[in-house]
Amino acid sequence: MGKQFALHVTIQVAPHNADAFLEALRPAWAGCVAEKENLFFDVFQDPETPGRFQFVEVWSKDKDWFFNVQLKKPYYQPYLDITAPMWVAERKVEFMERQPGWSVYSEEYLVEGKKK
């Protein structure tokens, strides 16, 4: 397996749009997690700032593949069409490369998740 990368996406919507945002995200999230190259996808909401979401995605391919293959999947466009008008700040996207020897997890972390 090559180097894995993590994608961190932060999106802010008005608090009253938080539920509608998550509803619109669900089909795109489901499409992503069904991809064999997707190793992990977690969605967080800031408890101090309702409507501020962060996605943490881990992919088995590189950044070029992500832009040239993954982002062209059809399930992204409906999500963007619905949610982009809800954004109250510029979306922040960061790509990070996993560092060998620095990953650990507890089974407890995975309690609320589902195994692929």
Is residue 62 within 8 Å of residue 2, measured between CB atoms? yes
Rounded Cα–Cα distance for residues 95 and 80 (Å): 19
Residue 2 pLDDT = 65
User: Is 105 exposed, middle or buried, given 0-12, 13-18 or 19+ CB atoms closer than 10 A?
Assistant: exposed
Q: Domain limits of the chain?
A: 5-110
Residue 83 pLDDT = 98
Rounded Cα–Cα distance for residues 98 and 63 (Å): 13
Residue with more model confidence, 28 or 107: 28
Q: What percent of the chain has pLDDT over 70?
A: 96
Name the fold adopted by 5-110. Alpha-Beta Plaits (3.30.70)
Mean pLDDT within 68-78:
97
